[in-house]
Structure 1
Amino acid sequence: MKYLRRVIDDDLEKYLKMIGAILIIGPKWCGKTTTAQQHAKSILKLDDKDNYQSNMMWADIEPSRLLRGDKPRLIDEWQVAPALWDSVRNSVDESDGYGLYILTGSTVVDENSIIHSGTGRIHRLLMRPMSLYESGESNGQISIMELFDNPDMNINNFESQLTMDKLIFAACRGGWPDSLNQETEEGQLFIAYSYLENICNTDVSVVDGIKRDPDRVRLLLRSIARNNSTMAKDQTIIDDINANFMDISRPTYYSYVDALKRLFVIEDNRGWSPNIKSKSAIRSGNKKVFIDPSIAVAALNANPESMEKDLKTFGFIFENLCIRDLSVYTNSHGGKVSYYRDNSGLEVDCVVHLRDGRYALIECKLGTKRIEDGAQNLLKINSLIEKNEKIDNPTFLAVLTGGKDAVTRKDGVKVIPIGCLKP
């Protein structure tokens, strides 16, 4: 199978020359191990069934033995033996070298199981499922980082070859590398459903050793999917679960949500609260979004055909896809995606902040009829920002669409097909 280069490959090459060890975290099946193997000279797979007991014994007796091998040495699923963290840190200290280890992990590890944080020794990189550009479905004619550097760049001659049918299918299939190896569309769509079943039946209980009801996990994920990218409160989701299952208490609910976050299944999209003179209070609660839109589709027991008949719901799936891709494209520059909303209903789907302080306001509108609404939202909040001397103006305003043509409107708002975007 041909390896499809990932955006994170450039980060790996860069940081292996700057620090002793790199930890790649992210959801299962997103390609962490395969990507890490492209940069490693030796490999230790801790969850290898044939050597598992032996590996665990050495991890307990003499963990440094497991670090022997050509460097960079890949330690896959390191969290199976947390003691290796401190061994890696000590090895980096003693060798005083760079690019010695690459660790991969599919869960957030309890910090109490390690002695040192690894600061200055181990650099963390979050890997997400594949973006449309990485899977070859975006032609990459428009670079978001070029827009940050040159917001006046001409985009009017660019167009996407990604039809609406193909966009819907890509969102339902998700960014799972193995799905691209499947020969049939049925096989490609199956990966996300299989991922969901593994999470519900096994992973959500294994992550911290607490047994959780698979059916309750499914209902929780379905409720979050129904409220995907919305301001739904925790109590709304709890009530939704209780209406379809036995009662779930708030502590139990938070325990389930925490487990799903530790598995990188869901994450918080935080509210942006700029100090602008708005007549309406800013709502800064967190939205819950999926690490990949296909998980939401699977949780809803939906498919491309049902999404085509329910474009309103797919609009929220599309927003989730845009958040995933924007996060992938800007990660190398410290990109963080948040949202803005106030009590008057004025909102911006995505506020993309870079490490250097620059930011962009971006709306996600599936069809061309909604572009005007998105542009007006952007212009309204931009006018509030312009009146405040303490806040820098956004570098650019843009509406991401599922359409064909890219254009810069007369008011300066960029209209960008998601099928044209790249890092």
Structure 2
Amino acid sequence: MAYHRRIIDETLDELLPDLAAVALEGAKGVGKTATAGQRATTVLSLDDPAQRQVLAANLDLVTQVPPPVLIDEWQLEPAVWDRVRRAVDDGPTGGRFLLTGSAGAGADARIHSGAGRIVSLTMRPLAFSERAIEAPSVSLRALLAGGEPPVAGASNLRLSDYVEEILRSGFPGIRNLPERARRAQLDGYLARIVERDLPDNGVVVRRPAALRAWLAAYGAATATDATYTAILDAATAGEPDKPVRQTVVGYREHLQRLFVLDPVPAWEPVFAPLQRLTRTPKHHLVDPALAARLVGIDASGLLRGDAGSVVPATGTWLGALFESLVTQSVRTYAEAAEARVGHLRTKNTDREIDLIVERGDGAVLAIEVKLAGTVDDRDVRHLNWLRDRIGDRVADRVVITTGEFAYRRRDGVAVVPLALLGP
């Protein structure tokens, strides 16, 4: 199959000539190997038992083969990380190593040990613009730069199309399968997490059904900041024998290391004028299609407005999944622009903004997500509140919708259909 460039390719084009080693981290199936392979002269695949055995017997092999060297699934032979780090210390020539994998037990310490030598980049499932459905006409980077750039364009997508994209997923190897095969692959992906990936990383899963129930409850809490106690209670409703808190915390930490959980942290501004902000993250799985499969809902159920939500939240669950779809793309675009993403909520919940994209200098792009094609004054009130509070630090204000047109309101807020937003 022909390779289709990803947004992270531009980052790699810029960084790799000057950096000796780059690690592409992310959940399984997001396309790390295909992207890294475009730049490799030598590929060492550690999920191949023969290659893994050879490398384990001779770690120096990584310095003896022609560079750039791609070491795929490096976490299966953890000592290779330290060998690459030492090789970078010995000769920091750019473009020598690419490592791909999903960090597992103990990997945090290794990644920390490589700080300054091995640069880690996170890769996620396909952002909306990478799906080649429509050409984006509005750049997140331009919005983040400030100055309220012109916003225009028209989209042919409607709500049902976005529902289809939620269910198809952003996993390149899954999304184009026939519908039944796609569902089977997503189910298999979830089963592998419980039955193989966690045990392979040293996690003993004594009650797989209980872990699966907790994952379903977490998926149902998508785009909320529900407490972990509420999620556990939802997962074990009516069961007297609940997993102990320490067990659940362990599962959660490992699932996050494997990039299966991808929560959005609460925004903590680098300046002081905003007080009483919550520090609770918003819950997201790496792809909203996984949440839909865990809860067991299809397109007709989402369009009917079936609750689906195990953890109560405002709005519809389809709205939460759409917000997760938007978040998946915004995080990819923001990372390409060297910006970080958080969410804003005051402790008394009277103010909330779905996504805050912050530049290194503290300027922010404030984003609300709306599952509708129209926007009224009520939808932008929190965006305008933030501008009133911090003034010019707000580079721009945006509402992302399922509508047809991209435009600016009279108050300057940009209204952009998701399909028209790009990096």
TM-score, structure 2 as length reference: 0.91
Q: CA deviation at 1:410?
A: 0.4
The structure 2 residue matched to 1:253, chosen from 248, 267, 270, is 248
Matched ranges for 1:44-193 at <5 A: 44-56=44-56, 58=57, 62-111=58-107, 114=110, 117-156=113-152, 158-182=153-177, 184-193=178-187
Q: Which amino acid aligns with 1:171?
A: I
Q: Which amino acid aligns with 2:351?
A: L
Q: Which amino acid aligns with 1:290?
A: L
Q: Give me the identity figure in percent.
A: 30
Q: Please tell me whether residue 324 in structure 1 is matched to residue 328 in structure 2.
A: yes
Q: CA deviation at 1:235?
A: 1.1
- CA gap 1:404/1:115 in 2 versus in 1, 3 angstroms: closer
Aligned to 2:273: 276
Q: Which amino acid aligns with 2:333?
A: Y
Moved more, 198-207 or 7-16: 198-207
CA distance in 2, matches of 1:205, 1:213: 12
Alignment gaps of 5+ in structure 2 = 307-315
CA distance in 1, matches of 2:199, 2:52: 20
Contact 1:139 1:160 in 2 (8 A): no
- CA gap 1:385/1:223 in 2 versus in 1, 3 angstroms: same
Contact 1:25 1:125 in 2 (8 A): yes
Give CA-to-partner distance per residue, 1:92-120, whole Å, 9 cap, x none: 22233111000001124515874971222
Q: CA deviation at 1:336?
A: 1.6
Moved more, 316-325 or 213-222: 213-222
CA distance in 1, matches of 2:61, 2:401: 52
- CA gap 1:369/1:10 in 2 versus in 1, 3 angstroms: closer
Other structure's SS at 2:190 match: helix
Q: CA deviation at 1:52?
A: 3.8
Q: CA deviation at 1:198?
A: 1.3
Q: CA deviation at 1:192?
A: 2.6
User: What RMSD in Å do the two structures reach over aligned CA positions?
Assistant: 2.1
Aligned to 2:201: 207
Aligned to 1:408: 408
TM-score, structure 1 as length reference: 0.91
Contact 1:207 1:262 in 2 (8 A): no
Contact 2:105 2:254 in 1 (8 A): no
Give CA-to-partner distance per residue, 1:316-368, whole Å, 9 cap, x none: 00111111100101112222211111214211000011234331110000113
Contact 1:86 1:116 in 2 (8 A): no
Moved more, 337-346 or 242-251: 242-251
Contact 1:107 1:207 in 2 (8 A): no
Aligned to 2:302: 307
Give CA-to-partner distance per residue, 1:279-316, whole Å, 9 cap, x none: xx332212221121111111111222221112711100
Contact 2:168 2:176 in 1 (8 A): no
Q: Which amino acid aligns with 2:273?
A: I
Aligned to 2:354: 349
- Number of corresponding residues: 410
Aligned to 1:389: none
Give CA-to-partner distance per residue, 1:113-161, whole Å, 9 cap, x none: 74971222211100001011111124211111122235422223x0112
Other structure's SS at 2:354 match: strand
Other structure's SS at 1:306 match: helix
Q: Which amino acid aligns with 2:248?
A: Y
Contact 2:374 2:401 in 1 (8 A): no
- CA gap 1:88/1:421 in 2 versus in 1, 3 angstroms: same
Other structure's SS at 1:400 match: strand
CA distance in 1, matches of 2:114, 2:204: 27
Alignment gaps of 5+ in structure 1 = 387-391
Q: CA deviation at 1:20?
A: 0.6
Matched ranges for 1:277-292 at <5 A: 281-292=276-287
